[in-house]
Amino acid sequence: MTPGRARHYLDRYLAGPYLLDPLYQLALGKKKATICRCRDETPDRFRSSEYYRQYYERTHLADEMDFMLDVDSTTTLVLVVGRWETRFSRSEVARLRLIEPIVRAAMQRIWAAWAARYSDEERDLSMHQRLTRCFEQFGATSLTRREQQITQLLLRGHSSKSIARELDIAPGTVMVHKRNLFSKLGITSQFELFSLFIDELSAL
C-alpha cells in the first residue's frame, strides 16, 4: 500500500469508524492485557462486519500483535505490529512477548517526550467526544435502549448468539429486536445499518 493510500484509509478510520474497532474497545476496558493478538480479541462475526469489509480488510494485514500501555488515567498508547501475507508463527509470537518489557519501556519514553513537548498546548478532544456521543446516541430518537445496545454490538461485528451472551438474553429475543430495529430505521441489512451510521458520522 502506498503512503498516500494508507493515509486515505487512516483519515477515514479516524473520522469515526475507529469506534467499532475491537482494539479500541479493548483499550477502553478496565482489565486489559499489555500485549495481545488482535484475532484473539475480535467478535465472532468480525470478518463479516461492514467495519471489517470497509476498513480493516483494506489494511491487508494477515496478522497483528498489539502492545498496550496506559500512560495516564484517560489514555492508552497502542503499538501495532502487523504482518502481511502470513500469520505470525508460534516462535515469533513468543519472541514478541519476550521483548514486551523493552517495547513498553520505549513506548513510555516516547510518550513522556511527546507530553513534555505539548503539555502547554491546548489538546482538542471535542471531535472525539462528538463522535463518541454520536455512536452512543445512534438511533436514540426511534429505538429502545435495548435496541440501541443490539445495534452497537451488530456494528462491532457480533452475531446474534454473541449478542445474546453479551446481554444475557435468548438468541430468539435478539432476532426479534433486530427485526424491530431494522424496521424502525427503514433498513433491511447490516450493510445499510453501517451506511446509516457512517452517514451520521459524516454529518458532524
DSSP the chain: --HHHHHHHHHHHHTTGGGG-HHHHHHHSSS--SEEEGGGSS-TTGGGSHHHHHTGGGGTEEEEEEEEEEEETTEEEEEEEEEESSPPPHHHHHHHHHTHHHHHHHHHHHHHHHHHHHTTS----HHHHHHHHHHHHTTTTTS-HHHHHHHHHHHTT--HHHHHHHHTS-HHHHHHHHHHHHHHHT-SSHHHHHHHHHHHHHT-
Same-domain pairing of 73 and 161:
no
Query: What predicted TM-score, i.e. pTM, was given to this entire model?
Result: 0.71
The predicted structure's pLDDT at residue 163? 96
Instruction: Give the pLDDT band of residue 10 (cuts 50, 70, 90).
Output: confident
Instruction: Name, of 14-28, 42-56, 164-178, the range with top average pLDDT.
Output: 164-178
Same-domain pairing of 71 and 168:
no
Same-domain pairing of 174 and 140:
yes
Same-domain pairing of 144 and 182:
yes
The predicted structure's pLDDT at residue 3? 62
Residue entry with cell 498489539 = 66
- Residues of the chain with pLDDT > 90, as a percent, come to 52
Same-domain pairing of 149 and 112:
no
In terms of residue numbers, what domain contains 176?
126-202
User: What number is the average pLDDT over the span 142-156?
Assistant: 96
Same-domain pairing of 162 and 91:
no
Residue entry with cell 471535542 = 126
Q: What is the CATH number of the domain that holds 195?
A: 1.10.10.10
The pLDDT tens digits of the residues spanning 55-107 come to: 888 888 899 999 999 988 778 889 999 988 899 999 999 999 999 999 999 99
The predicted structure's pLDDT at residue 2? 61
Please tell me the distance from the alpha carbon of residue 36 to that of residue 26, in angstroms, as a whole number.
10
Average pLDDT of the chain is: 87
Please tell me the distance from the alpha carbon of residue 167 to that of residue 146, in angstroms, as a whole number.
9
Same-domain pairing of 60 and 100:
yes
Strand order in the sheet with 75-84: 35-37, 61-72, 75-84
Same-domain pairing of 139 and 106:
no
Same-domain pairing of 7 and 105:
yes
Q: Is the pLDDT of residue 195 over 50?
A: yes
Q: Is the pLDDT of residue 121 over 60?
A: no
Same-domain pairing of 113 and 151:
no
Instruction: Give the pLDDT band of residue 1 (cuts 50, 70, 90).
Output: low
Same-domain pairing of 63 and 134:
no
End residue of a domain, out of 76, 97, 118: 118
- Residue 166's CB is within 10 A of a number of other CB atoms, namely 15
End residue of a domain, out of 118, 151, 184: 118
Same-domain pairing of 11 and 80:
yes
Domain count, the chain: 2
End residue of a domain, out of 118, 144, 162: 118
